[in-house]
Structure 1
């Protein structure tokens, strides 16, 4: 393990500080915005603009990196994020924050793609799993650690914005000082929606709805906490708990989906997430303990859905289509993440903070119903013919880039075969 990770430790150290800043800045803005009296619609647009910039960055950033090189591009992206974080503490203005947040999303896509391609370049088939697992763990620790900092200092002052700038400044150092050779040019995947739907209608519809639900809660969860009277430290703990529980739930859920029809697992987890969301809407608990319990159940179920949906799509894909199918679903998830906060903000304004979970409940109930409906129309791949899901969280951060898919062990080159491989097929519809 140590031998596999030593060549990329500088990159991983920079990644830790990058996601530490991302976690802090991503939670700080809605908490500070709510304290400033910004409307739910405006706070929702912060998430929409970030996701829009991120998705755009997945398409455009590779071309910029090819022009100036990985190190210069990475330094520029991180420096710009640092400047924007500091500007956000100086310019307390909703319209400026929305614009700056889009630029941050774009730059975050660029930095993530550079790190992921760099790690992939250094990985071998033998070390790919270890590096991928450690990378995901680093991003998870960084995001949660950054969120917890919001509860340490007063978010209504400029100190947390200054800490963001410092953390991002440190993030650029290990990567620019690394002696690791620059990787090959980044890949920009095209989103082939008809192909994705033909391959797996459940994954296509499910990933879009998962993006809507996760985008709504990921952006407005902090606003919900503020509106129901939780302090900054409690809000940070609440969001961190849902991330951890979701990561833990992926292990048993993934194992179960390897043994039975993955669509049944998707339907059950979606129903559980919807149940917790409906309970929050109807009970409207005022006790922080009950909020933690119900939101914890919600987070555990909701955050385990994405990798199962991707695995189901790959059950019906050709062996060499993993990156193309998963990359397309990843960008489709990004589109849902753009939609979710845009819907969630006005709904919260019209019906109160707990109505945020009305949006997620509708999305999850739709996933459950559609998965069951599709299971009646198309036979599942037999369990013995499926490739087991790796025991790795797929997405610790709000979004990953298509470059991260090359690190997944399932994207490793297949061994040569003497005979023509028999691809799995199924009737779509």
Structure 2
């Protein structure tokens, strides 16, 4: 069996070069507009338009790839992204920049779809985990590389845009020269948004909030740091440290989520992130403190999406996973569209400190929402457990159903009756909760939207005690 890293080396190299360009472009635009003292509304709108392009590209990308193939679609979109990056040099109108950001988002989404569908189709099942783990590693390294590239140009200028355009063009070379067999055309992924919101409400809530947070951070964090009079070098180090923390946290957080219920981890992350960003808002800002808190921020904020995605997939049937993936991408993209606009509006009215205040409020709302949904599910399941067990019992008003009826029978031993009554009291004290009950498991809905499907096959009941010998007494 060949090494997956060698087999997909061309795709990995393409990903690295592409993310160097993309990782630096958003930061460059934010810093450039901040230097020109452009209102924060425009900076937030730039990032919102980029994520809007990602949402639109998820639909148009399928059609383009199915019509012309993976490599041709990738080459066309890479050329568009490269031309858009160069256009920022020639055009100063911010309205045109918004359109350019939409086009860049659409092109990047198509490129992501080409790479990920190619890896997903041709990676062997025994290597799939390693392939996508390395793909994510390369993606994070590319974004960090883009930040470090900007460190070499503290005055910004035109040189960074030229390098970004060059990387957007050069990422075509490895994938165009690859000797791997082209993957099959993509099939359209249906959207079932309302269905999945009923099935996995905690996961999609977390993904929406993760989109709000990510869009606000990537779009406005460089401008926020610039408003605090940090240098370009300090800002790029700050962004690199935050992204690096997210990279380092992926593997250990994934291992932890395999052992601890994922909804519990999401609540824990949300609570800590709310507290951390509140401290970042109210405490005095200095370089050492902010670097440390930014590292912790990257660990908490950048692990919400992958944990929520895994949490959603663990409760979905195999034939629904494609539709779920499309729904997750759309949900995240919509959240990321509105996040920068809302945060920019708050910054415009109340000042730059509102960036992390907005993230703190979003995290708090996520925590409260997850607590409410989890409590509702727990109470619903407990009631249904009681109803299921009640189906196996006769009416409570019937004397025959009570162990006291056995006590009136002179053929039954008294010790046996007392043991049965004790067992019933213990069951009542436990509230008839199944031994496999887990408050963090999301049940799947029935056709009725207000009930959850728990059939007798899914329930776990206590094993009946071994029958005791019954002493028969002679009739007088």
Q: TM-score range by the shorter chain?
A: 0.7 to 0.9
Q: CA deviation at 1:179?
A: 2.1
* Cα RMSD (Å): 2.0
Q: Is the 8 A contact 1:225 1:235 kept in 2?
A: yes
Q: Is the 8 A contact 2:78 2:172 kept in 1?
A: yes
Q: Is the 8 A contact 2:154 2:231 kept in 1?
A: no
Does 2:96 align with 1:96?
Answer: yes
2:198 alignment counterpart: 198
**Regions of 4+ moved over 6 Å:** none
1:256 alignment counterpart: 256
Instruction: Return the index of the structure with the highest Cα Rg.
Output: 2
1:153 alignment counterpart: 153
- Secondary structure of 1:184's counterpart equals coil
**1:316-336: CA deviation from partner (whole Å, max 9, x where unpaired):** 222433333233122201110
CA separation of 1:250/1:17 partners in 2, compared to 1, >3 Å: closer, same or farther? Answer: closer
Task: Give runs of aligned pairs for residues 309-348 of structure 1, distance below 5 A.
Answer: 309-348=308-347
- Secondary structure of 1:378's counterpart equals helix
CA separation of 1:66/1:271 partners in 2, compared to 1, >3 Å: closer, same or farther? Answer: same
Q: CA deviation at 1:97?
A: 1.2
1:211 alignment counterpart: 211
- Secondary structure of 1:189's counterpart equals coil
- More displaced, 144-153 or 119-128? 119-128
Q: CA deviation at 1:155?
A: 4.5
TM-score by length of 2: 0.77
1:292 alignment counterpart: 291
Q: Is the 8 A contact 1:121 1:183 kept in 2?
A: yes
CA separation of 1:369/1:118 partners in 2, compared to 1, >3 Å: closer, same or farther? Answer: same
**1:203-260: CA deviation from partner (whole Å, max 9, x where unpaired):** 1222111211121112111111111111111111111211221232333433333333
Does 2:157 align with 1:132?
Answer: no
CA separation of 1:79/1:155 partners in 2, compared to 1, >3 Å: closer, same or farther? Answer: farther
Does 2:51 align with 1:80?
Answer: no
1:390 alignment counterpart: none
- Secondary structure of 1:259's counterpart equals coil
**1:82-106: CA deviation from partner (whole Å, max 9, x where unpaired):** 1111111232332221110110000
Q: Is the 8 A contact 1:216 1:356 kept in 2?
A: yes
1:378 alignment counterpart: 377
Q: Is the 8 A contact 2:137 2:247 kept in 1?
A: no
- Gaps in structure 1 of 5+ consecutive residues: 381-423
Task: Give runs of aligned pairs for residues 16-415 of structure 1, distance below 5 A.
Answer: 16-283=16-283, 285-379=284-378
Q: Is the 8 A contact 2:208 2:331 kept in 1?
A: yes
CA–CA separation in structure 1 for the residues paired with 2:444 and 2:101: 42
CA separation of 1:379/1:258 partners in 2, compared to 1, >3 Å: closer, same or farther? Answer: farther
**1:244-303: CA deviation from partner (whole Å, max 9, x where unpaired):** 2123233343333333332221111111111111112212x2311122122222221111
Q: Is the 8 A contact 1:85 1:161 kept in 2?
A: yes
Q: CA deviation at 1:67?
A: 2.4
Q: Is the 8 A contact 1:216 1:341 kept in 2?
A: yes
Q: CA deviation at 1:379?
A: 4.4
Q: CA deviation at 1:2?
A: 5.9
- Secondary structure of 1:377's counterpart equals helix
Q: Is the 8 A contact 2:118 2:183 kept in 1?
A: yes
CA–CA separation in structure 2 for the residues paired with 1:156 and 1:273: 32
**1:4-56: CA deviation from partner (whole Å, max 9, x where unpaired):** 23232122211111111111112111111111221100000110000001110
The alignment covers a number of residue pairs equal to 386
- More displaced, 264-273 or 187-196? 187-196
CA separation of 1:121/1:201 partners in 2, compared to 1, >3 Å: closer, same or farther? Answer: closer
CA separation of 1:146/1:348 partners in 2, compared to 1, >3 Å: closer, same or farther? Answer: same
Q: Is the 8 A contact 1:151 1:232 kept in 2?
A: yes
Q: Is the 8 A contact 1:53 1:106 kept in 2?
A: yes
- Secondary structure of 2:38's counterpart equals coil
Q: Is the 8 A contact 1:278 1:357 kept in 2?
A: yes
CA–CA separation in structure 2 for the residues paired with 1:55 and 1:369: 28
- Gaps in structure 2 of 5+ consecutive residues: 380-441, 451-476
CA separation of 1:298/1:95 partners in 2, compared to 1, >3 Å: closer, same or farther? Answer: same
Q: CA deviation at 1:196?
A: 1.3
